[in-house]
Amino acid sequence: MGVDYTQLRDPNAEYTMRDLSAETMNVTRERGAGRDIEITDVQTTMVDGNFPWTLVRVYTDAGIVGTGEAYWGAGAPELIERMAPFLRGENPLDIDRLTEHLVQKMSGEGSIGGVTVTAISGIEVALHDLAGKILELPAYQLLGGKYRDKVRVYCDCHTEEEADPIACADEAERVVEDLGYDALKFDLDVPSGHEKDRANRHLRAPEIEHKASIVEAVTEQVGSRADVAFDCHWTFSGGSAKRLAERLEEYDVWWLEDPVPPENHDVQREVTQSTTTPITVGENVYRTHGQRRLLEEQAVDIIAPDMPKVGGMRETAKIADLADLYYVPVAMHNVGSPVATMGSAHVGAAVSNTLAVEYHSYELGWWADLVEEDVIEDGYIEIPEQPGLGVTLDMDAVAEHMVEGEDLFDDA
Task: Tell whether the model's pLDDT for residue 23 goes beyond 90.
Answer: no
pLDDT tens, residue by residue, 189-200 = 999 999 889 899
**pLDDT for the residue numbered 15:** 66
Count of alpha carbons within 13 angstroms of residue 332, beta-carbon side: 36
pLDDT tens, residue by residue, 214-232 = 999 999 999 999 999 999 9
**pLDDT for the residue numbered 25:** 84
- Give the model's confidence band at 16: pLDDT under 50 very low, under 70 low, under 90 confident, else very high: low
Task: Tell whether the model's pLDDT for residue 269 goes beyond 70.
Answer: yes
With residue 44 as reference, give the H or E element that holds it. strand 39-48
Task: Tell whether the model's pLDDT for residue 318 goes beyond 90.
Answer: yes
| Helix pair angle (165-177, 205-222), 10° resolution | 30
Topology (CATH) of 143-389: TIM Barrel (3.20.20)
**pLDDT for the residue numbered 7:** 81
Task: Tell whether the model's pLDDT for residue 12 goes beyond 80.
Answer: no
Using CA atoms, how far apart are residues 189 and 319, in angstroms rounded to an integer? 27
Task: Tell whether the model's pLDDT for residue 10 goes beyond 80.
Answer: no
Q: What is the mean pLDDT of the chain?
A: 95
Contact 277, 249 (CB under 8 A): yes
Share of the chain above pLDDT 90, in %: 88
Using CA atoms, how far apart are residues 97 and 39, in angstroms rounded to an integer? 14
Average pLDDT, integer, range 233-255: 98
pLDDT tens, residue by residue, 391-403 = 999 999 999 999 9
- Give the model's confidence band at 6: pLDDT under 50 very low, under 70 low, under 90 confident, else very high: confident
**CATH code of domain 5-136:** 3.30.390.10
Phi, psi of 160 (to 5 degrees): -60, -25
**pLDDT for the residue numbered 49:** 96
Residue 84: partners with Cβ closer than 8 Å, 6 or more residues away: 6, 41, 42
**pLDDT for the residue numbered 34:** 82
Q: Where are the domains of the chain?
A: 5-136, 143-389
pLDDT tens, residue by residue, 277-289 = 999 999 999 999 9
Using CA atoms, how far apart are residues 200 and 275, in angstroms rounded to an integer? 23
Residue 378 burial (CB count, 10 A)? 11
Task: Tell whether the model's pLDDT for residue 379 goes beyond 80.
Answer: yes
Task: Tell whether the model's pLDDT for residue 1 goes beyond 60.
Answer: no
Task: Tell whether the model's pLDDT for residue 4 goes beyond 90.
Answer: no
pLDDT tens, residue by residue, 28-51 = 777 888 899 999 999 999 999 999
